[in-house]
Amino acid sequence: MVDQIASPAPEQKSQTGGGSKTTVIVIVVIVVLLVLSVGGWLVSRYVFGRIAETATEGIIGGITGSDVDIDKNGNTASVSSDDGSFSMSSNSEWPADMPAEIPRFTAGTVDGSAKSTSDGKSGWSISFTKVAVGGYDSYRQTLLSGGWTESSTVTSDSKMSTMENDQYYLIFTVNETESTGSLVITSK
């Protein structure tokens, strides 16, 4: 009888090391793609914002014939030229540079404001929401008591008063049905 010698079984290689390398590579690729996409989004947001700002400056400058600079900062946008400036804010705050001669309107919530300056004179516009019932009459009385002279009044669903003092003109309106209002002040 012939002795059969069993040949050793072929070696089997372990697969555990190769799988973890593939997982690491996939994770690294995903992290790199995330970093590139977030970085690209941030760069494009800045770049496209600057392109839009520069294009708008060019258009307004071409129309007005002035050197125009637009600065958008958070909730505020400003335009300035050789002739004056304009800024608009969606901040819900009374303008910090409002002259002391203009009493603060407290019977409503500031919704937005704008300021313009030209030839050394300034003007402000403020819009209000949630104006309380009686807010118009109370503020009108505050103005009259503070030395403002009323030149006209309109009363219906909306109330409007036009006033002036030594330095400013003022138009105050309130729509009591909608609980909204506005205040426009210009230098004399």
Closest by CA position to 181, among listed 132, 144, 147: 132
* Chain segment 108-123, per-residue pLDDT in tens: 999 888 888 888 888 8
Q: What is the pLDDT of residue 117?
A: 83
Higher pLDDT pick, 86 / 145: 145
Q: What is the pLDDT of residue 29?
A: 62
Whole-number Å distance between alpha carbons of 42 and 49:
11
The answer to whether the beta carbons of residues 175 and 137 sit under 8 Å apart is no
Q: What is the pLDDT of residue 74?
A: 57
Whole-number Å distance between alpha carbons of 37 and 102:
50
The DSSP string of 11-79 is P---SHHHHHHHHHHHHHHHHHHHHHHHHHHHHHHHHHHHHHHHHHHHHHHHHHSS--EEEEETTEEEE
Confidence of residue 81 (pLDDT cuts 50, 70, 90): low
Confidence of residue 14 (pLDDT cuts 50, 70, 90): very low
Closest by CA position to 185, among listed 122, 111, 136: 122
- Give the mean model confidence (pLDDT) for residues 86-107: 84
* Chain segment 15-57, per-residue pLDDT in tens: 445 567 676 666 666 665 655 555 555 554 555 556 666 666 6
Is the pLDDT score of 133 beyond 60?
yes
Count other C-beta atoms under 10 Å from residue 84's C-beta.
16
Count other C-beta atoms under 10 Å from residue 179's C-beta.
16
Is the pLDDT score of 128 beyond 60?
yes
The answer to whether the beta carbons of residues 127 and 182 sit under 8 Å apart is yes
Whole-number Å distance between alpha carbons of 20 and 105:
67
**C-alpha torsion angle, residues 72, 76, 80, 83 (rounded to 10):** 160
Q: What is the pLDDT of residue 184?
A: 94
Q: What is the pLDDT of residue 28?
A: 64
Whole-number Å distance between alpha carbons of 110 and 129:
7
Q: What is the pLDDT of residue 118?
A: 81
List the domain boundaries for the chain: 18-65, 74-187
Helix or strand or coil: residue 139?
Answer: helix
Helix or strand or coil: residue 135?
Answer: helix
Supply the pTM of this predicted model.
0.59
